[in-house]
Structure 1
Amino acid sequence: MNFKKFLPWIIVIVVLFIGYNYVKGINNKAVVYEQDIKEAWGNVNTAYQRRNDLIGNLVKTVKGAADFEKSTLEAVVNARAKATSVTVDPTNITPEQLAQFNQAQGGLNSALSRLLVTVEKYPDLKASQNFLDLQRELASTENQILTARTRFNEATKPYNSHIKVFPNNLFAGLFGFKEKPYFEAVAGAEKPVDVEFDFSNDKKE
């Protein structure tokens, strides 16, 4: 048997095998990173959903206060509805989609801040046990949101780095992998909602 006769074919097969495994590795690693992003996004949604639920309870509590400013309450209700209507698929997320989501949540954040400031005018409301409990839960949830957003960015970074470095970038696009955006702070969102109140200095009439 003339081994030299088949040597070129053996070399081609070996090269193709190595190339196949290399490209497969690029794809599989990107898939793993993308799953990490989906998990991180799920945690982001969970944190925001928790806040939305708390805000719903807060609105019900505030509605019970006599003569509470209707426009302030409606602003929160409308902002909450807008925020919950914006959904994002983390596997196909674009900078524009994330910016829209971020803006909607920032709008809710601002409306909630205005409501909490307005509550200062209602000593009985802000001193109620239910409101105090919601205050503590909101403060805790804001921290959870910040942590979830940070972890989403941390999960996104290795994915983006993996598909952008050479020669991975030559194949990533063929597999449908695209760079994903990071969370960026919107105006006024760099600080959590201020839900601290001075309950010892209620104004006396």
Structure 2
Amino acid sequence: MKKFLPIILIAIIAYGFYNWAVGFQNNAVEFQENAKTSWSNVESAYQRRNDLIGNLVKTVQGAADFEKETLTQVIEARAKATSVNINAGDLTPENMAQFQKAQSGLSGALSKLLVSVERYPDLKANRNFLELQSQLEGTENRINVARDRFNEKVNIYNKLIKKFPGSFLAGIFNFTEMNRYKADAGSEKAPDVNFKF
């Protein structure tokens, strides 16, 4: 019996290590996939905004004397924003920065469009325009919530693979840190508001 004791201990340790490694692998895959799904939700929220902007542009184009340059800027920014897509498995800082830059360009053009509308009382009173504007506001909130949820999922995954002893197994199973969605550069500063009368 004493001859078999070391073999039994080795078998128990090996079995325990195997269960621990399998448990880590399964958790890491689950958390990583949850983060990727959250990224898809971010993209879905941005897609909803792009779809609404298309309808908004058509409604605004109905106002024949509306500023063509502003509309052109929105249309071009929308085209650029929809052309930048990131695979959830390739969320590198460079890809995320490119995606964010395109979305920020669209946000800026859209803001300019909505400010320009103030000079067109008929357009401001248009029921379709008001409904689209309200939906856009709601969509902007959805985008913010989706980005926050994505960051939460990435945080859970990153903590799992960075904390010891998970960090040991993360290297073995090739799990790498995921990047969070970051705010636009300079967004921490309050914008200057200048009212001219």
TM-score greater than 0.5 by the shorter chain: yes
Q: What is the DSSP-based 3-state SS (H/G/I as helix, E as strand, rest coil) of the residue aligned with 2:42? A: helix
Corresponding residue of 1:201: none
Corresponding residue of 2:123: 125
- 2:62 is aligned with 1:74: no
Corresponding residue of 2:137: 139
Q: What is the DSSP-based 3-state SS (H/G/I as helix, E as strand, rest coil) of the residue aligned with 2:4? A: helix
- Structure 2's unaligned 5+ residue stretches are 189-197
CA contact (8 A) 1:106 1:189 kept: no
- For 1:152 and 1:118, the matched residues in 2 are separated by 33
* Residue in structure 1 matching 2:87, options 81, 86, 89: 89
- For 1:144 and 1:110, the matched residues in 2 are separated by 18
Corresponding residue of 2:191: none
Give how far 1:187 is off: 4.5
- 2:34 is aligned with 1:36: yes
Deviating more after overlay: 140-149 vs 33-42: 33-42
1:91-141 deviation per Cα after TM superposition (whole angstroms, max 9, x unaligned): 331122112111111111011001111112222112111111111111111
Q: What is the DSSP-based 3-state SS (H/G/I as helix, E as strand, rest coil) of the residue aligned with 1:5? A: coil
Give how far 1:38 is off: 2.2
- For 1:131 and 1:88, the matched residues in 2 are separated by 31
Note closer, same or farther for the CA distance 1:187–1:126 as it changes in structure 2 (3 Å cut).
Answer: farther
CA contact (8 A) 1:95 1:180 kept: no
Q: TM-score, normalised by structure 2?
A: 0.89
Corresponding residue of 1:63: 61
Q: TM-score, normalised by structure 1?
A: 0.86
Give the fraction of aligned pairs with identical amino acids, expressed as a percent. Answer: 56
Misfit runs of 4+, over 6 Å: none
Give how far 1:17 is off: 1.0
Note closer, same or farther for the CA distance 1:179–1:138 as it changes in structure 2 (3 Å cut).
Answer: same
Corresponding residue of 1:199: none
Give how far 1:7 is off: 2.0
Give how far 1:39 is off: 2.3
Q: RMSD of the alignment, in Å?
A: 1.8
Corresponding residue of 1:54: 52
- For 1:170 and 1:9, the matched residues in 2 are separated by 26
Matches within 5 A, 1:183-194: 183-187=181-185
Give how far 1:9 is off: 1.8
The aligned length equals 189
CA contact (8 A) 1:120 1:126 kept: yes
Matched residue type, 1:49? Q
CA contact (8 A) 1:106 1:188 kept: no
* Residue in structure 2 matching 1:23, options 21, 24, 28: 21
- For 2:175 and 2:72, the matched residues in 1 are separated by 42
Give how far 1:4 is off: 1.7
* Residue in structure 2 matching 1:167, options 145, 159, 165: 165
